[in-house]
Structure 1
């Protein structure tokens, strides 16, 4: 397993649900926390939900000519028709499994865990929810895409629990994104919906490759709906 640092936002001593928010390539979990805080004017926090911001391991990154960068996996190039580097992906899968297992060991079931991310982090979230663990509560992906040959599509096509509900999906994409074109995000969403994924794709007008306040607020409201407080959470407030 590749060890990662984690920045955690938790408002109380106990939590009954968890959100894992993966940053984009070259970033860190602590920087993502600051970005969200800048946009909202406060942290993304909930009374009963722990929010985890992991930091990707430092490793050679081919699009940067092999320079070391904090990336979740290596890729041959930043384009939708490039072949996935499945060996690199398999390595980070171990880390993701460990992050989820840690929460499950604390008593948080998979159906009370949401994963999400920005850019490369959103792609990892899609891999997590539709290839590694389809029992999760939901997934959000911001300015992200899947390669056309993605193992995610293969996994969904071959899953044994066909007909059962998959994690709900929320995708967002800037209309003026030049790094990850809008059409890549739209194509990825369309392919996922063909494979029984249900969700929503939102186009952010006049938005580049970036997070926006209205996007985070929408995600915040959606998380609150998907992961409502349990009876024990309410009792702990009394």
Structure 2
């Protein structure tokens, strides 16, 4: 379990409330340089409406601004730093660990509101999907599932090291990647998927021909279907 670590200011968040009774939560982590509000607006533009559900609260947090090495140290809203955008270099473990603590606080907020961990999904786009894999497979293996859109893990990722020591069930991974992605090559996503499968993660990889480093309506519709499969509506129990 990730401890609620050193005090970190609560992450700003944009929230789409459920239309009915709140019985599950979804945490969507944006890509590097974006915001929660920006990710929400992007999906809304693709769907012509918010990604919304009868019973699921959708939370789009915003990463703190920090110096980002691939941008020559300029401030950017990123979940963690990278030495470079490559799958063949060390991970910036200190910033990843720090953000796992901050996002654990967000998960704990949902638990305090009455949502059990197995009714919480975590995922995101690009860096957000990578962050979600660290969060779930290292610290919160009892979440309902994980999704990663146009994302990857480094070849020597701490996620792989943690799963090497794993005994027990792991949350399912729903992964999507475009074959025309020029920032995060499809092969990086494919390699991540194969490695996680070899370590016991029940993982699917949905391929989108000609899709660059972006989201598509078809992809989000497919994701929505999977979300409802993992977080079905709970029938209210009778008092009789």
TM range (shorter): over 0.9
2:122 aligned with 1:115: yes
Counterpart of 1:20 (choices 16, 21, 27) is 27
Residue 142 of structure 2 corresponds to: 135
2:94 aligned with 1:87: yes
Counterpart of 1:188 (choices 192, 201, 204) is 192
Residue 208 of structure 2 corresponds to: 204
| Structure 2 alignment gaps of length 5 or more | 1-7
Residue 166 of structure 1 corresponds to: 170
2:103 aligned with 1:96: yes
CA–CA distance in 2 between the matches of 1:88 and 1:29? Answer: 19
- Relative to structure 2, which stretch is displaced further, 2-11 or 24-33? 2-11
Residue 176 of structure 1 corresponds to: 180
Counterpart of 2:229 (choices 225, 232, 235) is 225
| Structure 1 alignment gaps of length 5 or more | none
Q: Let me know the Cα RMSD of the aligned residues.
A: 1.2
TM-score (norm 2): 0.94
Is the 1:137–1:226 Cα contact (8 Å) retained in structure 2?
A: yes
Residue 41 of structure 2 corresponds to: 34
Instruction: Describe how 1:139-150 pairs up with structure 2 within 5 A.
Output: 139-150=146-157
**Cα displacement string for residues 143-180 of structure 1 (whole angstroms, at most 9, x for unaligned residues):** 00001111101111112xx1x32111110001000100
TM-score (norm 1): 0.94
CA–CA distance in 1 between the matches of 2:182 and 2:92? Answer: 23
Cα deviation, residue 67, structure 1:
0.1
Other structure's SS at 1:25 match:
coil
Instruction: Describe how 1:145-156 pairs up with structure 2 within 5 A.
Output: 145-156=152-163
Is the 1:130–1:155 Cα contact (8 Å) retained in structure 2?
A: yes
| Poorly superposed stretches of 4+, deviation over 3 Å | none
Residue 60 of structure 1 corresponds to: 67
Cα deviation, residue 12, structure 1:
3.9
CA–CA distance in 2 between the matches of 1:80 and 1:14? Answer: 42
CA–CA distance in 1 between the matches of 2:26 and 2:68? Answer: 27
**Cα displacement string for residues 90-145 of structure 1 (whole angstroms, at most 9, x for unaligned residues):** 11011111011001111111110000100000001111111111001101100000
CA–CA distance in 1 between the matches of 2:147 and 2:190? Answer: 14
Q: What count of residue pairs does the alignment treat as equivalent?
A: 231
CA–CA distance in 2 between the matches of 1:121 and 1:58? Answer: 14
